[in-house]
Amino acid sequence: MERFDVVVIGAGPAGCSAAREAALRGAGSVLLLEREEWPRDKVCAGGLSPPARRVLRRMGLWSRVLPLGYPIRAARLRTPGGRELLVSGRRTSLVVRRRFLDALLAEEAARAGAVLRTGCRAQGLLLEQGRVRGVKAGGASIGARRVILASGAGSRYGLRPPPSSRWLACLARYEAVPFEPHTIELFFDPELFPRYGWLFPESGSQVNVGFCLARGQRRGPPAGMGPRELLERFLRRNLGERMAAARPLGRPRFHPILPSSRVLHRSLPGTLLAGDCLRLVNPFTGEGLSYALASGRLAGRVTASALRSGWAEPRIRRLYGRALRTSLEPSLRIGDWISRRGRPLLHWAARAASSRLGGRLIYRALS
């Protein structure tokens, strides 16, 4: 049987940052598994939030990410009542396709010493006396002293109760859609509210367009409408004639989002969860990339310390859970509070945006 000190399942931002951190901090041999072949994309608009940029700077990778994206200097918002706001500031944000970002993060994990295997699907965990001792992947058994699970929202490895909220995310790419250069657009559509839709430029000629919709929300589109019909309806209402000459780039893609207002880490002994496995998605913005990067780094750091120092399982779980709650839970709870009071806050934003300072503050919060 092949053996590693650490096996990480999932080469998204959480898994890559976990593998890189574990390797850099002396965890020993690290294996990073990705079920798909490169290059591959994800249903993600690609906007890098301020927390995501901060984590990338701490990792020393921001200068490498910058050339991969399209710079953003303004945001246009449409409220449920149809009012449009244009906000901007001095700060430049970035839209980066996940196929480029994830490939860079995986490359950095490999550069730190991790072994990357793409096209290698994890089929299950190896259990011995109630503790995970490795994984089944690619038709073989791989032994591991520790396993980090970063396999996304659909992961079957966590021990959390059923999610209290489920969203449907849709994303499609187009060419020849008119847009304001270096400007993202957010549509707080009445049928989607308190969720929203968006248009994010990815280059001078290409955009990604999509929406999030909370399943079972009281106000929404007609019952029984399928995801593709929802997308067409959203495009007609919000982009209209701008889609007349649009050329689709591939098919629309759909993905579940499981937001959370609290961090609750429950996993089998021998494992830690990171990223969407933990439902680390902001309940207001739907943003999860910054949480994936941060939780992955924490998982890699705790794993390396545990292996070097011989920590017992209870201590590993306690320290990791405490670090997650301290660093990530406050923003999740704030996002939940804003989500439940979304309409009044949008009215406030509309008034505040009329002033130059207010517009800059709103843009800073968005970008």
Whether pLDDT at 10 is above 50:
yes
**CATH number reported for the structural domain that contains residue 188 in this entry:** 3.30.9.90
Do 192 and 317 lie in one domain? The reply is: no
Residues 264 and 314 in one domain: yes
DSSP 8-state symbol, 129: T
Do residues 77 and 63 share a domain? no
> Residue 187's beta-bridge partner residues?
78, 197
The upper half-sphere exposure of residue 342, i.e. CA atoms within 13 Å in the direction of its Cβ, equals 18
For residues 177 and 325, membership in a common domain is answered with no
Q: What is the pLDDT of residues 243-272, one digit of tens each?
A: 999 999 999 999 989 999 999 898 999 999
H/E segment holding residue 257: strand 253-257
Same-domain status, 105 and 34 = yes
pLDDT value at residue 218: 47
d(CA 145, CA 3): 9
pLDDT tens column, 130-158: 999 999 999 999 999 999 999 988 777 76
For residue 120, give the CATH number of its domain.
3.50.50.60
pLDDT exceeds 70 at position 293: yes
Q: Specify the pTM.
A: 0.92
Cα dihedral across residues 307, 116, 152, 133: positive or negative = negative
212 and 136 fall within a common domain: no
Find the distance separating the first CA and the last CA of the chain, reported in whole Å.
47
Domains in the chain, number: 2
CB 6 within 8 A of CB 307: yes
Q: Does residue 324 sit in the same domain as residue 334?
A: yes
* 130, two tokens: 């109630």
225 and 318 both lie in a single domain: no
Strand, helix or coil for residue 159: coil
Tokens describing residue 66: 């910058």
Q: Could you tell me if 300 and 318 are in contact, meaning their C-beta atoms sit under 8 angstroms apart? A: no
DSSP per-residue codes, 318-329: HHHHHHHHHHHH
pLDDT in the model for residue 79: 83
Range of the domain at 228: 71-95+164-257+341-366
> Looking at the structure, do residues 50 and 173 belong to the same domain, yes or no?
no
Backbone CA torsion sign across 352, 356, 362, 363: positive
| CA–CA dist 100, 107 (Å, integer) | 11
Name 314's Cβ contacts closer than 8 Å, sequence gap at least 6.
none
251 with 265, same domain: the answer is no
- Residue 351 CB: number of other CB atoms within 10 A? 10
Tens digit of each residue's pLDDT (9 = 90 or more) over 349-367:
555 555 554 445 454 555 4
Tell me: do 140 and 273 sit in the same domain: yes
Higher pLDDT, 284 or 308: 308
Tell whether 138 and 171 lie within a shared domain.
no
Count CB-CB contacts under 10 A for residue 316.
21
Looking at residue 133, its pLDDT comes to: 97
**Residue 239 to residues 26, 132, 169, 198: CA-CA distances in angstroms?**
51, 50, 18, 10
